[in-house]
Amino acid sequence: MTPPGADHSTDSYLPRNGNGGYRVLHYDLDLDYRIISNRLAGKATVTAQAGQSLSRFSLDLGVFRVEEVRVDGRRVTFTHRAGKLRVKPDKVIGYGAIFKIEVRYAGKPVPVSGRWGDLGWDELTDGVLVASQPNGSPSWFPCNDRLEKATFLVRLTVASPYTVMVTGDLVSRRRGAGSTTWVYERTEPTAPYLMSVQIGRYEQVELASGAVTQRAAIPPRLRALFRHDFGRHGEIMGTFERLFGPYPFREYVVVVADDDLDDPVEAQGMAVFGRNHLDGRRTHERLVAHELAHQWFGNSLTVADWRHIWLNEGFATYAEWLWSAASGGASADTHAARWHIWLAGQPADVAIANPGVGRMFDPLVYKRGALALHAVRARLGDAAFLPMLRAWTAENRHAMVTTEQFRTHVARFTAEPLRDLFTAWLDRPALPPLPRAGA
């Protein structure tokens, strides 16, 4: 049988995204994109494992025309409307069985619109940007759009003048008559929203030297600005490896789109900035640090439910403060004092352990989340706080995490009771007194 709610997930904030009854192990995407006409044609092969006996199941997919669906090689009946591709296999899939879904689809990709704006596949002035957090992945491929992780293989064919960057390791690049096929593999488990495609007339340059490969794709005319504004990236990487443990992927890629962006965005092993984030004065270096920190907090360690988002954004914001202190700027205590004053002037109406779907990306979650971490540091002291952070990233590498897990984890590093601290900072809206860590 098929479990109730097969076309819904268990996420407390986004239950309409994702589907029940199975989990995806691997996505194989073979895509052809025509930039001028904005047409995407694809064949997606999704390898999944049944969590119960399945007489039907569903995938998330946007406004494409679905041409054919096969399950284990056999054509099957399906319906596709309101973002759900509902599939009825010709025989029941048994509990624990591994099966393959092939979907052929085509059309003009459009972003998913919602309370956070347009998410997913989006046209630039001359190219494409994909930023899917939290629910934009169905804008370009059929998926189980939940936070569970899978591996990916992506082949993308575009006109040869364009560079293609996909989250993952470049496996091959094959040039044909006027077009080039780029093949990327993501072997580390990855949530669908963290997969990204960037297409543009980019020049590829070295971002920084070091043990971790760091490279960038940029508009050639912005080369000088980029070299200055990202000139300390190798130092940021070294600082974060010392603080958080080894970088969790094989490489890190920065893309600078030749368009203005409201905010930079991170994907797995990648961050995307707008041309407006380059000004020759390193004005936005804190954002450079923030997006890099997400590779540990958000990408390697991914929240198990969106209500835990402070584990992503509070930690990445605190990483900004740590880089500031390490690079000769304001100390973490100074940043904490500044933002505590700001928070004191805001309505105390958000508990960051469960801010609500409408407040997921509220600045209060970011700043108060960082202050909560600063309070943990003040209570533990650096001799315990830094080993605690490194153990947190090491023990949960490429896994899913929750606030409850973090509370339990921190308790291992001190004999002092921490319930009062976590209750005050995470569970209650009222702003606690300013913590001072002496750093």
* Average pLDDT rounded to a whole number, residues 68-80: 98
332 within 8 A of 371, measured Cβ to Cβ:
no
53, 134, 141, 189, 383 from 195: Cα distances, Å: 29, 11, 10, 11, 36
Determine the Cα–Cα distance for residues 325 and 425; give it in Å rounded to an integer.
23
66, 107, 110, 123 from 42: Cα distances, Å: 10, 9, 15, 18
- Number of other residues whose CB lies within 10 A of the CB of residue 424: 15
Give me the pLDDT at residue 125, please.
Answer: 96
Taking all residues of the chain, what is their mean pLDDT, rounded to a whole number?
A: 96
Give me the pLDDT at residue 2, please.
Answer: 45
- Number of other residues whose CB lies within 10 A of the CB of residue 84: 17
Give me the pLDDT at residue 438, please.
Answer: 72
Q: What is the pLDDT of residues 108-145, one digit of tens each?
A: 999 999 899 999 999 999 999 999 999 999 999 999 99
Q: How far apart, in Å, do the first and last CA atoms of the chain sit?
A: 58
Q: What is the pLDDT of residues 282-317, one digit of tens each?
A: 999 999 999 999 999 999 999 999 999 999 999 999
Single-letter code of the amino acid located at 9 = S
Residue 123, beta-bridge partner list:
128
Q: Which CATH number fits domain 22-109+132-190: 1.10.8.60, 1.10.3720.10, 3.40.50.300, 2.60.40.1730?
A: 2.60.40.1730
* Average pLDDT rounded to a whole number, residues 407-423: 96
Determine the Cα–Cα distance for residues 130 and 424; give it in Å rounded to an integer.
38
Give me the pLDDT at residue 4, please.
Answer: 45
CATH number of 303-427: 1.10.390.10
* Average pLDDT rounded to a whole number, residues 54-61: 97
110 within 8 A of 62, measured Cβ to Cβ:
yes
304 within 8 A of 338, measured Cβ to Cβ:
no
Q: Domain map of the chain by residue range?
A: 22-109+132-190, 203-295, 303-427
Determine the Cα–Cα distance for residues 407 and 409; give it in Å rounded to an integer.
5
435: three-class secondary structure by DSSP: coil
pLDDT at 439 over 90: no
Size (the chain), residues = 439
Smallest Cα–Cα separation from 140: which of 87, 85, 180, 197? 197
Distance from chain centroid for Cα 6: 25
Q: Which long-range contacts (CB under 8 A, 24 or more apart) does 323-330 make?
A: 323/236, 323/239, 323/240, 323/285, 323/286, 323/289, 324/286, 325/439, 326/239, 327/232, 327/235, 327/239
Q: Which CATH class is domain 203-295?
A: alpha beta
Sign (positive or negative) of CA dihedral 275, 244, 432, 351: positive
25 within 8 A of 49, measured Cβ to Cβ:
yes
Between residues 347 and 438, which one has the greater pLDDT?
347
Phi and psi torsions of 352, nearest 5°: -70, -15
Phi and psi torsions of 220, nearest 5°: -55, -35
Give me the pLDDT at residue 114, please.
Answer: 87
What are the residues whose beta carbons fall under 8 Å from the beta carbon of 163, sequence distance 6 or more?
A: 199, 200, 201, 202, 203, 204, 217
DSSP 295-348: TTBTTTBEESSGGGTHHHHHHHHHHHHHHHHHTTS--HHHHHHHHHHHHHTS--
Cα radius of gyration (the chain): 22
The pair of structure tokens assigned to 418 is 């921490």
Determine the Cα–Cα distance for residues 290 and 439; give it in Å rounded to an integer.
19
Give me the pLDDT at residue 1, please.
Answer: 45
Phi and psi torsions of 397, nearest 5°: -55, 125
Q: What is the pLDDT of residues 144-199, one digit of tens each?
A: 999 999 999 999 999 999 999 999 999 999 999 999 999 999 999 999 999 999 99
207 within 8 A of 245, measured Cβ to Cβ:
no
* Average pLDDT rounded to a whole number, residues 78-104: 97
pLDDT at 10 over 90: no
List, edge to edge, every strand of the sheet that includes 265-267. Answer: 203-208, 213-218, 251-257, 270-274, 265-267
pLDDT at 35 over 80: yes
List, edge to edge, every strand of the sheet that includes 84-88. Answer: 57-60, 84-88, 77-81
Its pTM stands at 0.96
The pair of structure tokens assigned to 293 is 């920190």
37, 43, 70, 109 from 66: Cα distances, Å: 19, 10, 11, 13
* Average pLDDT rounded to a whole number, residues 377-403: 97
138 within 8 A of 148, measured Cβ to Cβ:
no
Give me the pLDDT at residue 209, please.
Answer: 93
Determine the Cα–Cα distance for residues 120 and 113; give it in Å rounded to an integer.
9
19, 73, 98, 111, 174 from 144: Cα distances, Å: 6, 20, 15, 17, 30
